Amino acid sequence: MTEHPFAQYIRLLARGKTKSRDLTEDEAAAAWGMIMAGQVEMEQLGAFLMLMRLKEETAEEVAGFVRGARQHLQVPADAPTVDLDWSSYAGKRKQLPWYLLAVLGLVQGGVRIFMHGTDGHTPGRLYTKETLKVLGLPVAGSLDQAAAQLATTGFAYLPLENLSPRLDQIINMKPVLGLRSPANTICRLLNPFEAPTVLQGIFHPSFMPIHRDAMRILGEKRAAVFRGEGGEIERRPNKALHVETFIDGQAGAEDWPALLPEPQQLVDEEMAVERLAAVWKGEEQDAYADAAITGTMALALKLLGRAETTDAAQTQAETLWRDRDRSRLDPAA
């Protein structure tokens, strides 16, 4: 029986302690390209994903996987330029997604943002798609539609199921496999509109160097990764913050001070999405929300190069938040 072409990549990972090795970037790109094209058996896919999960992917492998995935995205040739790529794949369970108000504040300030993410892969979490729908904000159904929304409003959110059905299928294998897979990392780094600035929020700090180095290998111009609230791109305002960066060819790090005194663990028991609109409109005052929103905006402004220092970025963010158009949430209104 002729060996399946994908078997070579499983063998490289599973030949034992002395003979197994990491994939090269090119091998990873080829392997993930086959996965995206449906050229692997389900047994092979499960084995490959769990072998990668067991050993943990390298930055070179992640970069290769992303390259392999990007080849299968149908991005419109006339897509508008995007300032900031914003991934949203973790979901929130302890705090509302205040990052959405940070995004809308940045968009009103002239930053064109493309968001992409998924929902439902982990029970008990609140995701971006359902939140946008409750708030009456649009959700794109394709890359073409996202491009049109970006051109007219400066903002678009596209669910992974429409961005890449294959990657969405793999992420939703978690209940079957019992663990996350490299797909969770790959999706965050897709940057389909080639925005020059990429901001990442993750949950496990140990993955920060891998994300940073993968973005370097992929040639991103301005990139940063930090431990976000719940794993989303959202500042925890009662915690000091460490950010790993890669800007114009130079790796670096930034330390941001806490914006609020550190209380006991903050948990929103109700998670009422309607509170987002109330805070935006100024109908409800919430010091934690304000700090989370402006702190998140400040990170983006600093990375975008619109502020020289962390203090200047925070001041600019607070000004944008104070001067927002409270009469509307929808960028198209």
Which residue is listed with tokens 């897979």? 181
Q: What is the Cα–Cα distance from 28 to 61, expressed in whole angstroms?
A: 5
- As a whole number, mean pLDDT of residues 308-318 equals 97
* The pLDDT of residue 121 is above 80: no
For 98-117, what is the mean pLDDT?
98
Contacts of 243 (CB under 8 A, 6+ apart): 224, 225, 226, 253, 254, 255, 256, 299
d(CA 279, CA 29): 44
pLDDT single digits (tens) 157-203: 999 999 999 999 999 998 899 988 999 999 999 999 999 999 999 99
**pLDDT on residue 205:** 86
Rounding to the nearest 10 degrees, give the CA dihedral for residues 145, 148, 152, 157: 40
Q: What is the pLDDT of residue 16?
A: 87
pLDDT at residue 323 in the model: 97
pLDDT at 262: 76
- To the nearest whole number, what is the mean pLDDT of the chain? 94
**232-271: per-residue pLDDT in tens?**
999 999 999 999 999 998 999 999 999 998 765 688 889 9
> Using one digit for the tens of pLDDT, what is the confidence trace for 208-228?
999 999 999 999 999 999 999
Residue 264 has a pLDDT of 57
CA–CA separation, 192 vs 163, rounded Å? 9
Query: What pLDDT shows up at residue 333?
Result: 59
Which pLDDT belongs to residue 84?
A: 98
Query: Is the per-residue pLDDT at 288 higher than 90?
Result: yes
User: Long-range contacts: 203-206, Cβ < 8 Å, 24+?
Assistant: 203/90, 203/227, 203/228, 203/230, 203/231, 205/242
Token digits of residue 81: 């330029």
Rounded-to-integer distance, Cα 126 and Cα 90, Å: 9
Q: Is 166 exposed, middle or buried (0-12, 13-18, 19+ CB in 10 A)?
A: middle
How large is the angle between the packed helices 310-322 and 99-108, nearest 10 degrees? Answer: 80
| Domains of the chain with CATH codes | 7-70 (1.20.970.10), 84-322 (3.40.1030.10)
Mean pLDDT, range 103-126, rounded to an integer: 91
